[in-house]
Structure 1
């Protein structure tokens, strides 16, 4: 580990700023720094939040009095659909991901996230996808089938306009952003912590974010698959959800809620992480039950994936399933209760300072507990049947989501605001904003429990005066406007504080976590040198850390070859293993996201030729991105005389790229398993499912394709094994041979696909089988192209015995592709043949 203690601190900071800083002016669009990207997520999310809030106010205005016609039924349906869509997809998760991107490197003692360009790509996908969705509202063709887009209401027959297509393509675009952030955060937390920061020394907030990111990896692919299938049904006429062709509309609900219920905890866990971070600071004592809370986080993540059917209690599922999912829905309250009791115990045994962030934490505790109690009520099947489609469910959802997410988020905004501005928030305006929001919120949604119990259905644009709901709705609407005034006061407070706020001193809250050892406002590089951390409370136990870090007394206290360097650490112990060199500012994320946006827009207007051209553009930028990676000079300058202890990650077999590939394949595998789930669900549950008497695809060409793939994997793995054993002489030949075998595998798959008499427009069986073949074709092609690139990089010198890590990154893709091929062969070909023969 290199320190430069004889360099003046001012010179070191100037040098770091030059290497890590963003380009000035319009060139800032190329920024990939986690601080910049995180703030962009937060600001953009705030903009979408204001749009969603405006839509909600229009809805409450319409419902304030009975028999009003301020908003017609068609526009009303668009408003509540877009309100839910904006708040769930464009505000809640992206804002929490942005906060995590901003905070995680600062908390774990590093200078940036491990894949900076991926973070930037995620932001631009989020921005462009959100704009595509909102443009439907501006064009007055917004979707009106609900933010859950249930079939058959959302299919081409009952929603013939473009609205659902904007939703499906835009949401899929946004989900790319979420998956990108999930991969980024998982690998960064596991592999770039400060030297000595073992898992049991990690800040509790990082555990929450790690769980959230893993849940995104496993929770979002079912919705991506469902959106793709529904868009194929709408645009191409393929059958997945149409009963007449062997589909089932309930398949959409299963895929949606396989995402939708984990999403509730994806939103809750980071917010709970903020609470677990703030309470010890304002109680001035360590968090009670750290290990119990970590266990509760893990258990919550697991249980949340077993609850999706409790959103479907009224669709007619078997009683055994009702009992199972009802019990599971109540069990999830146990790990949540562990966290709440730990928070209360910390407050009880500490000396609590009721500063402004703590006020919002207290509001969270009150509102979220109330929402949790109604959640236990809804887990009971008979009660759920009575109130399922009423305002009671709407009220519960807002108590859980707004109480469980927005209150902690605002507390975190105020708490970490000095990081961004270098100034302290206003206590007076902040308290006004809290009480207006808290009072308005409870006035709005507490009364909605009553309207729900009185029988008022949700998703209706008006109601008769004699129903007796008028006065409750009027008070709810008044509360909504009071809440909106509270939001306006908070925004005014945050805006004014940048100019008039009192200058913040070092560690102004006397916090214990490492982010307060960075400059305020935050610098582009976070830490002038990277400290060793062996405690959960570094700022309490080592209060001189800001000074020694600034003076460059710790690791990487110098700039090598104008390179952005961070430490790579062991996933368990946190011990430094390598120096990771990161790519600098790049236009590739913006260019790639822009071309993907062109693909989506072309599909919306059915300009398929333009979509195909844009898709070629996506391939071009993706390959260029892949080429400017690793040891390429554009990605990171390296020299022959670079230090070898610790080595640069490009000189190892276990760099961050391998971890990124494995985590990405976990998400990919979840999408594939969701496709298998759809296949078996339709097979066993669709009322008019039918299979042809004879397999529609040619068996022998498919087997030959699989054999070519097996040989490609064997050849590739042998080349990597020889590289590990110290010989790179046969590597290039092995890579070219694997590429050729992969091309043969792809060619045979194309033959199978073209020759098969598949009719996806009439039969769900053929539609799912066709999607499976395209899935295999895409992955086989990707593995072959990346292998060809590796062979070229060996020839140029970017991959060698000295720079060996890239072939190891591609190897899991080959193994994954081989695994899904034979799994598909068994599930889609062999099993139906055996079943039919039996």
Structure 2
């Protein structure tokens, strides 16, 4: 018990902390999916199943908070980021391990407070956007909103601490010219952009939440029109965080999909790697310039709406670069149900369904159409195609992709493929009919509706039940792996999978699972010296003049076929 406590409660090991984030995300995801199943039962037919309408709003709010802040973010950023940033840049651990421990415990405390908000005084029924005046004390007095505000403050502190840790690690502990785009793994670039977004946007949300607390308990009027305030101020503060939050959720998924497609197509790099890196940074930068498209019906003047329409449409350019580069990466690969890795199907499904969600986003970017479709089920369909079939598909794909690396065991392929097919069918049956419901005028956030929408709602609820069965199959597949303990007998790693090198795997030594402590020795800087590899040689020269710690013996020029980042044997020098 003492060893268990020391390892999991006091851990400063990036792998153990990443595992805690993954467990936290799994629990929150199952809880959030269960809440969505309650909503689908309510909406499966006209009339009221939940006799108290406030309870439906509370379930809906909690579903959003669970999925956004406690499932996708801890899993893709905290889990995969903690696991793979040190492994991919070949270092022993993150720059500040104790800060990493603080970050994970703040996240767990935030989850506890949010659950308390859901269970106290009838629940949290103000929506995840928490718009005043609904969230003010006049309309929602009691503990739920206060607990939710403190929960979001703790989640924000956790995110900022983790992001600063990631940024310092990538900047200060990277190896040589690894900062250059042509040499950095895609997951590192996407987590780098995500960390910048978090450090920049979360303080704005914290400011808005603090003003909300002051309005509720200290008689200020930042959001009260009677005292000279304006509830539109909250919308500006919230959506300045809220829209970058969308890219915070999806950018790590971009990196995961790039790694899966490289593996499945047996290619060293994703097609157009430098362009993909710039596209990730461009998406992160432009994410701060478009928050107003959530406020087209909030009274913006026509020139402001024209700007936000144009700026939002511009984000389709770097996103399109990524989609077409993924398609080019897929091209030439050999894919089949029998031979392809199960994560391949999650990645291909991601590209297909994320593209559909992106196209509906282009429609909603137009101010005139967005005014018509605002707060309708068309918007619900759009962001669920981007998140439920984007970020979640990438999380499942990354989980099964790296599962042998984590555990040394292999899941049953038929169970994993059945899980994918059930999820794919379920989410499409759930959310595709919502486009028609939105176009025919059904507003979101309502627990009852006219009979004209009953057929599409019944189809959508059937798809939700299918997705719920898929989650049960996912848990069963994990249980089966640990019950049978099917070992990994043969592993094929392409040389672009940098997380496997220096961990006892690769180069003829396929010792899996990955050890608790890896990369005990910092690798030497390896660069290419070849007439066809001049950019790499130039990178080495630039690094020579930029690095204060440069030493001639730490520079090693390998052949063009050598893996960047391999540890140089002293006997070779």
Q: Same fold (TM over 0.5)?
A: yes
| Equivalent residue in structure 2 for 1:83, among 63, 69, 73 | 63
Does the residue aligned with 2:482 lie in a helix, a strand or coil?
helix
Q: For residues 253 and 298 of structure 1, do their structure 2 counterparts lie closer, same or farther at Cα, with a shift above 3 Å needed?
A: same
The answer on whether the counterparts of 1:62 and 1:71 sit within 8 Å (CA) in structure 2 is: no
Is 1:231–2:213 an aligned residue pair? yes
Shift of 1:297: 1.0
TM-score (norm 1): 0.61
Q: CA deviation at 1:317?
A: 0.6
Deviation string for 1:101-125 (max 9, x for gaps)? 1111011101100011111111000
Name the counterpart of 1:271: 253
Residue 456 (structure 1) aligns with: 442
Gaps of 5+ in 1: 1-21, 537-568, 580-644, 647-838
CA-to-partner distance for each residue in 1:215-246, whole Å, 9 max, x for gaps? 11111111111111101111222221111222
Q: Does 1:220 align with 2:199?
A: no
Shift in CA distance, 42/314, structure 1 to aligned 2, threshold 3 Å: same
1:178 maps onto 2:159 in alignment: yes
Change (3 A) 1:107 1:23: farther
Question: Is 1:50 matched up with 2:30?
Answer: yes
Give, in whole Å, the separation in 2 of the partners of 1:403 and 1:218: 27
Q: Is the 8 A contact 1:421 1:498 kept in 2?
A: no
2-structure distance, mates of 1:130, 1:416: 26
Bigger Rg, which one: 1
SS of the residue corresponding to residue 331 of structure 2 reads helix
Q: Conserved in 1, the CA contact under 8 Å of 2:357 and 2:386?
A: yes
Q: Counterpart of 1:247? A: 229
**Partners in 1 of 2:114 and 2:549 — Cα distance?**
43
Is residue 3 of structure 2 the alignment partner of residue 24 of structure 1? Answer: yes
Aligned to 1:41: 21
User: Hey, what does 2:416 align to over in structure 1?
Assistant: 430
CA 1:404 to 1:535, structure 2 compared with 1: closer, same or farther past 3 Å? farther
Q: Can you list the C-alpha shifts for 1:693-736, whole angstroms capped at 9, x where unaligned?
A: xxxxxxxxxxxxxxxxxxxxxxxxxxxxxxxxxxxxxxxxxxxx
Aligned residue number for residue 397 of structure 2: 411
- Displacement after TM superposition at 1:167 (Å): 1.1
2:426 to 423, 430, 440: 440
Counterpart position of 1:6: none
> 1:72: how far off?
2.1
**Superposed CA offset, 1:24-76 (max 9, x none):** 12223111111011110111111111111111111110010001333420101
* Alignment gaps of 5+ in structure 2: 505-511, 529-539, 555-573
Given that 2:88 and 2:498 are in contact with CA atoms closer than 8 Å, whether structure 1 keeps it comes out as yes
Query: Are the structure 2 counterparts of residues 432 and 93 from structure 1 closer, same or farther at C-alpha, using a change threshold of 3 Å?
Result: same
Matched, 1:480 2:464: yes
Q: Does 1:289 align with 2:272?
A: yes
> Partners of 2:362 and 2:221 in 1: how far apart?
38
Question: Is the 1:423–1:502 contact (alpha carbons within 8 Å) kept by the matching residues of 2?
Answer: yes
Number of residues of Structure 1 aligned to a counterpart in Structure 2: 526
TM-score, length basis structure 2: 0.88
Task: Confirm or deny that 1:144 pairs with 2:125.
Answer: yes
* Aligned-partner Cα distance in 2 for 1:392–1:266: 22
1:434–1:231: structure 2 CA closer, same or farther, 3 Å change rule? same
Q: What SS class does the counterpart of residue 416 from structure 1 fall into?
A: helix
Cα pair distance change 1:48/1:227, threshold 3 Å: same
Structure 2 counterparts to residues 51-450 of structure 1, below 5 A: 51-98=31-78, 99-195=80-176, 197-200=178-181, 201-285=183-267, 286-352=269-335, 354-450=340-436
Kindly tell me: are residues 511 and 74 of structure 1, through their superposed partners in 2, closer, same or farther at Cα, counting changes over 3 Å? farther
The equivalent of 2:519 in structure 1 is 527
1:515 aligns with 2:515: no
Among 495, 498, 519, the alignment partner of 2:482 is 498
CA RMSD of aligned residues (A): 2.3
Q: Secondary structure at the match of 1:24?
A: helix
Question: Is the deviation greater in 483-492 or in 23-32?
Answer: 23-32
Deviations 1:243-270 (A, max 9, x none): 1222110000101000000011111110
> CA, structure 1 residues 483+118, in 2 after alignment: closer, same or farther (shift >3 Å)?
same
CA separation of 1:117/1:419 partners in 2, compared to 1, >3 Å: closer, same or farther?
same
Measure, in 1, the Cα distance between the counterparts of 2:276 and 2:62.
36
